[in-house]
C-alpha cells in the first residue's frame, strides 16, 4: 500500500499572541515550511458601515475612532474632511494647524506600536516596552487636550471638540526634543541588531508590481520603494505648506521590499512627522476651533470620496448623501484590510516563524480590517 | 557529604535521604530566586518597577505564585495520551534535578564525589529531551508538537559543541571528576582554566586565547540547551504560544518552570567549574588567613553561588536584550560555526597540552 502524505494544517488565531488581535490564519505547513496562508476575517466585525447609516453625520465621528484604534485621530480627520467637502465648507486656520499636529503626533504613536510589536513578535520584548514608554508621552499630551487616551473623538466636522490645552505647545516641543535621541537609541537597539536583521532582511519580499496590483499603501507600499504618500501626492488640509521627505525602502540590509525595509520606513517616517510638528507648532494662529456650522448637518445630495494618509496607508471615506441628516452610505477603504490581502503572496515558501515577522511588518489593526 | 551524615546518624537510609533532599531544596530555592530575579532584572532593563506589592520589594511574589500553582485545578485537555502526559513533567524535572547530585558546591558540600561526575551530569540532563518530546507528543496539540520537535533538535544539536569543549577541558585536566577539576584551579584566579589553568610558562599563555574561545562556545551552546533567548525557539511565545508545555497547567506546568530555572543554574555551575575555578575563591580564603578551618567550606559555597548567579544574570541580560533567532538560523549557527570551531579548538588545545 502506498503511503499518503498530507500537509499539516495549523490554525493560528483568533486567540494567538501575535496575530495582532483576532485574525485567524489557516497555515498549510510542511514541517516548518509554509505552503499556503488563508486569513479568515470577521471576528471583530461591528457593522460600522451599517451603523453609520442610522446615525446623523456628526454622530458617526466616535465610531470612526474604533476603526484603526491605534490612530483614531487620523480616522476622525478623514471622515471630517469628507463631510466638509460634501458640505463645501472651509475650516479656520487654527483648526487646520491643530489637526495636522495632532495627526502627526498620532502617526508617531501608531508607528511606535507597529515597530514595537513587530520587534516583540520576533522576540525583542525590551524595545517594545521602551516604545510604549515613549508613546505614553504622546498619549498624555493628547489626553490633556481632549480627555481621552485612545479613542479621542477629537476632530469634529467643521472643527475640533476642544481647543488645545495651554500647555500643549510647550509639551509638544519638549516631546520633540525628548524623542529625537530615542530614535537613535531604537536604531542601535533594534534596527541594526544582527539577529533582527537576520530575521527580517530578505524575508517577505514584496515586489513593486505585486504591491501595486494588490493596492497596498502606506509603509507597506513605500517599503517596496514607491514614493507615494497622500500628504504630498494628493495634499489635503495644509500639508502642502510643510517641508518633509517621503522615506522609501532602499534594500539597505537585503532586497528592496523586505520586512526590514517596511520596518525601517516607519522609523524614518517618525522623524519626518517630527519635522512637520516642529514646523507647525510655532505658527498656530489664534481663533475659534468651532467654525459656524449648524447643529443638524444636512449636506446636499451627492457623493464624495476623500482619502487621507493614515499611519497604515490610504484611508478613504466614500459617502453618499441623499439630502437627509443621515448619510445614505458610508464606505471605508481601510488600509489594513487591503494590505492584509498580500499576506498570502508574501508568506509562500517561508517558515512559520517568518509568517509572524511578515504579519508584524505589514502592521494590521483588526478593528479596521473587520470594521 | 554522605559519609558525614552516615557518621552522624549511623544509618545508611537516613544519610541517603538527607543527601538527596539537599539538591531538591536547592533547586526550589534557585527557582524561587530565579523567577523573582528574572522579573526584577527584566523590569530594570525595561525601565519598569517590577513586582513590589507582595512583601518587601515584592520578594514574596514567587512564593505567592507557587502557592497559586499548587492550588490550581489540574485541567487537562481531551484526547491526550495521559500516561506520557503525566510522566513528561516528572521526567523533565528529574533530569535537571538529578544533575545537582554531582555538582560540588564546596569541598564539603558534594552530593556524590563520583569519578565520572562530568559525564554523569551531561548524560542525566539528556533525560530532559525525552520528557520534552513526550510532553509535545502526548498533548495532542500542534503547537506543542512543533515546539517539542524544535526543542529536541536544538538540545541534541547543541550538546555536541558542549561535549567537545568539555572534552578539551578533560584532556587538559585528565579527570572527569568535577571536584578534582575544581581543585586543580585552586589558590588564585590566574589558576582558572580560562586563564590557562595551573600550567606554567609558555603553555599557559598559549592556552589563554583558546580557552576564551572555548568558554564563548560553551556559553552559547548552554544558552541554547536551556532554551534561553536568543535561542528560546521551542517556547517562542509569539509563534508557538508556549511551545511544548502549552497544554499544561498548575503544578505540572510549574515543574517545567522549575526545571528551566534548575537547568539555568546547573549549566552556569558547570561552566564556572570548567572555566572559572568552581567553588574556589579567586582571592584566597579568609579562613586560611584567620586560621579558622571551618570557615573555608562556607566561603567556597559563597563563591560558587556567586559565580553561578553571575552567569544567570548574564543569561537574563541577554534574554531581555536580544530578539530570537529562527529555527534554521539556530541550526546553521550550531552546525556551521560552533561545531567546527569547537573541533579546531579541541585539536589546538590537544597540541598545546603536549608541548
Chain A residues touching residue B47 (CB < 8 angstroms) = 129-130, 133
Contact B232 A120 (CB under 8 A): no
Cα torsion A320, A321, A326, A328: sign: negative
Cα–Cα distance between B295 and A203 in angstroms, integer? 59
What's the rounded mean pLDDT across residues B49-63?
A: 84
CB contact under 8 A, B241 and A119: no
As a whole number of angstroms, the distance between CA A149 and CA B331 comes to: 45
DSSP label at A189? Answer: I
* pLDDT band (50, 70, 90) for residue B62: confident
Which residue among A123, A129, A354 places its CB closest to the CB of B324?
A123
A352 contacts in chain B (CB < 8 Å): 146, 239
Q: Is A293 exposed, middle or buried (0-12, 13-18, 19+ CB in 10 A)?
A: middle
Determine the pLDDT at residue B155.
84
Q: What is the mean pLDDT of residues B120-142?
A: 84
Best residue in B241, B323, B325, B329 for a mutation probing chain A (most A CBs within 10 Å): B323
pLDDT at A325 over 70: yes
Helix (H, G, I), strand (E, B) or coil at B263: helix
- Angle among Cα A351, A353, A358 to the nearest 5 degrees reads 90
pLDDT of residue A318: 92
- Show the cell assigned to B13: 537510609
Half-sphere exposure of A22 (CA within 13 A, CB side): 9
Cβ-contact A118, B238 below 8 angstroms? no
Three-class SS of residue A248?
coil
User: Which residue of B46, B142, B324 is in closest CB contact with A122?
Assistant: B324
* ipTM rounded to 2 decimals: 0.77
| Contact state of A199 with B323 under an 8 Å Cβ cutoff | yes
Q: Is the pLDDT of residue A271 over 80?
A: yes
Indicate yes or no: CB of B322 within 8 angstroms of CB of A193.
Answer: yes
Contact flag A353-B326 (C-beta cutoff 8 Å): yes
**pLDDT for B72:** 85
What's chain B's length in residues? 355
Residues B46, A125: C-beta atoms closer than 8 Å: yes
Range B253-273 average pLDDT: 85
pLDDT digits (tens, 9 = 90+) for B169-222: 888 888 888 888 887 777 777 777 777 776 677 777 788 888 888 889 888 888
* Under 8 Å between Cβ of A21 and A117: no
The pLDDT tens digits for A143-162 are: 988 888 888 888 888 888 88
Whether the per-residue pLDDT at A6 is higher than 80: the answer is: no
Does the structure show a pLDDT above 80 at B227?
no
Measured distance CA(B131)–CA(B97) in Å, rounded: 13
- Whether B237 shows a pLDDT value over 70: the answer reads no
What letter does residue A55 receive in the DSSP assignment? S
Q: What is the mean pLDDT of residues A296-318?
A: 88
| In contact, B349 and B171? CB cutoff 8 Å | yes
Per-residue pLDDT, B69: 84
How much is the mean pLDDT over chain B?
82
The phi, psi pair for B332, rounded to 5°, reads: -70, -35
What distance in Å separates the CA atoms of residue A14 and residue A37, rounded to the nearest whole number? Answer: 14
Inform me whether the pLDDT recorded for B240 exceeds 80.
no
Is residue A297 within 8 Å of residue A156, measured between CB atoms? no
Cβ–Cβ under 8 Å, residues B125 and B266? yes
User: What's the pLDDT band for B236 if we cut at 50, 70, 90?
Assistant: low
pLDDT at residue A292, as a whole number: 65
Instruction: Please answer yes or no on whether A123 and B236 come within 8 Å at the CB atom.
Output: yes
For the cut 80, the answer to whether the pLDDT of residue A333 exceeds it is yes
Residues in chain A, total: 371
Q: How far is B153 from chain A (nearest CA, A)?
A: 13
User: CA–CA separation, B279 vs B270, rounded Å?
Assistant: 11
pTM confidence score: 0.83
Among the residue ranges A39-53, B197-211, B332-346, the one predicted with the least confidence is: B197-211
Query: What distances in angstroms separate CA A4 from CA A7, A24, B138, one per listed residue?
Result: 10, 28, 23
What mean pLDDT is predicted for residues B24-31?
Answer: 80
DSSP string, A309-344: EETTEEEEEEEEE-SSSSEEEEEEE-HHHHHHTTHH
Using a 10 angstrom Cβ sphere, with 0-12 exposed, 13-18 middle and 19 or more buried, the burial of residue B293 is exposed
Specify which residues A309 forms β-bridges with.
A314
Amino acid at each position: 500500500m502506498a503511503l499518503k502524505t498530507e500537509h499539516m494544517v495549523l490554525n493560528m488565531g483568533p486567540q494567538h499572541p501575535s496575530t495582532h488581535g483576532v485574525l485567524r490564519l489557516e497555515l498549510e505547513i510542511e514541517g516548518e515550511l509554509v505552503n499556503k496562508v488563508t486569513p479568515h476575517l470577521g471576528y471583530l466585525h461591528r457593522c460600522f458601515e451599517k451603523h453609520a447609516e442610522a446615525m446623523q453625520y456628526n454622530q458617526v465621528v466616535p465610531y470612526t475612532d474604533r476603526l484603526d484604534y491605534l490612530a483614531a485621530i487620523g480616522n476622525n480627520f478623514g471622515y471630517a474632511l469628507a463631510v466638509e467637502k460634501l458640505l463645501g465648507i472651509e475650516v479656520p486656520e487654527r483648526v487646520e494647524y491643530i489637526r495636522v499636529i495632532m495627526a502627526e503626533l498620532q502617526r508617531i504613536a501608531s508607528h511606535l506600536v507597529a515597530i514595537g510589536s513587530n520587534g516583540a513578535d520576533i522576540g525583542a520584548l525590551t524595545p517594545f516596552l521602551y516604545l510604549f514608554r515613549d508613546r505614553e508621552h504622546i498619549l498624555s499630551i493628547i489626553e490633556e487636550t481632549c480627555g481621552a487616551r485612545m479613542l479621542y473623538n477629537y476632530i469634529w466636522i467643521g472643527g475640533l471638540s476642544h481647543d488645545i490645552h495651554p500647555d500643549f505647545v510647550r509639551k509638544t516641543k519638549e516631546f520633540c526634543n525628548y524623542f529625537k535621541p530615542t530614535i537613535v537609541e531604537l536604531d542601535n537597539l533594534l534596527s541594526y541588531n544582527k539577529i533582527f536583521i537576520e530575521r527580517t532582511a530578505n524575508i517577505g519580499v514584496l515586489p513593486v508590481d505585486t504591491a501595486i496590483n494588490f493596492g497596498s499603501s502606506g509603509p507597506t507600499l513605500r517599503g517596496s520603494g514607491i514614493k507615494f504618500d497622500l500628504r504630498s501626492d494628493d495634499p489635503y488640509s495644509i500639508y502642502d505648506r510643510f517641508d518633509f521627505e517621503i522615506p522609501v525602502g532602499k534594500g539597505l540590509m537585503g532586497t528592496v521590499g523586505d520586512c526590514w525595509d517596511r520596518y525601517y520606513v516607519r522609523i524614518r517616517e517618525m522623524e519626518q512627522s517630527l519635522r512637520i510638528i516642529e514646523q507647525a507648532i510655532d505658527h498656530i494662529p489664534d481663533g475659534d476651533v468651532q467654525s459656524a456650522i449648524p447643529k443638524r448637518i444636512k449636506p446636499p445630495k451627492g457623493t464624495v470620496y476623500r482619502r487621507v494618509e493614515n499611519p497604515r496607508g490610504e484611508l478613504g471615506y466614500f459617502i453618499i448623501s441623499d439630502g437627509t441628516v443621515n448619510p445614505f452610505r458610508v464606505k471605508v477603504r481601510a488600509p489594513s484590510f487591503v494590505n492584509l490581502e498580500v499576506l498570502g503572496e508574501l508568506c509562500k515558501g517561508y517558515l512559520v516563524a517568518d509568517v509572524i515577522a511578515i504579519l508584524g511588518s505589514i502592521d494590521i489593526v483588526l478593528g479596521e480590517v473587520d470594521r | 557529604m554522605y559519609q558525614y551524615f552516615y557518621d552522624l546518624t549511623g544509618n545508611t537510609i537516613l544519610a541517603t535521604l538527607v543527601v538527596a533532599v539537599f539538591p531538591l531544596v536547592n533547586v526550589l530555592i534557585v527557582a524561587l530566586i530565579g523567577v523573582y530575579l528574572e522579573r526584577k532584572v527584566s523590569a530594570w532593563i525595561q525601565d519598569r518597577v517590577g513586582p513590589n506589592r507582595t512583601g518587601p520589594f515584592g520578594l514574596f511574589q514567587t512564593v505567592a505564585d507557587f502557592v497559586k500553582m499548587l492550588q490550581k485545578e489540574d485541567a487537562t485537555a481531551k484526547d491526550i495520551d495521559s500516561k506520557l502526559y503525566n510522566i513528561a513533567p516528572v521526567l523533565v524535572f528529574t533530569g535537571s534535578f538529578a544533575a545537582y547530585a554531582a555538582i560540588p558546591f564546596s569541598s564539603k558540600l558534594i552530593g556524590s564525589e563520583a569519578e565520572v561526575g562530568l559525564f554523569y551530569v551531561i548524560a542525566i540532563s539528556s533525560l530532559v529531551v525525552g520528557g520534552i518530546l513526550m510532553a509535545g507528543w502526548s498533548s495532542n496539540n500542534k503547537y506543542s508538537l512543533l515546539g517539542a520537535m524544535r526543542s529536541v533538535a536544538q538540545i541534541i544539536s547543541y550538546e555536541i559543541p558542549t561535549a567537545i569543549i568539555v572534552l578539551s577541558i578533560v584532556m587538559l585536566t585528565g579527570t572527569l571528576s568535577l571536584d578534582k577539576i575544581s581543585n586543580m584551579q585552586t589558590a588564585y584566579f590566574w589558576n582558572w582554566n580560562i586563564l590557562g589553568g595551573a600550567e606554567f610558562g609558555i603553555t599557559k599563555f598559549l592556552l589563554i586565547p583558546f580557552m576564551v574561545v572555548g568558554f564563548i562556545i560553551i556559553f552559547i551552546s548552554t544558552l541554547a540547551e536551556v532554551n534561553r533567548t536568543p535561542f528560546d525557539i521551542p517556547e517562542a511565545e509569539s509563534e508557538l504560544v508556549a511551545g511544548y508545555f502549552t497544554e499544561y497547567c498548575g503544578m505540572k506546568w510549574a515543574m517545567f518552570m522549575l526545571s528551566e530555572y534548575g537547568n539555568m543554574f546547573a549549566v552556569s555551575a558547570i561552566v564556572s567549574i570548567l572555566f572559572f575555578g568552581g567553588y574556589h575563591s579567586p582571592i584566597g580564603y579568609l579562613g586560611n588567613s584567620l586560621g579558622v578551618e571551618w570557615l573555608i567550606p562556607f566561603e567556597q559555597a559563597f563563591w560558587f553561588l556567586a559565580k553561578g548567579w553571575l552567569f544567570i544574570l548574564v543569561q537574563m541580560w541577554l534574554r531581555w536584550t536580544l530578539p530570537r533567532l529562527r529555527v534554521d538560523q539556530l541550526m546553521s549557527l550550531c552546525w556551521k560555526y560552533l561545531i567546527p570551531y569547537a573541533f579546531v579548538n579541541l585539536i589546538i588545545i590537544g597540541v598545546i597540552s603536549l608541548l
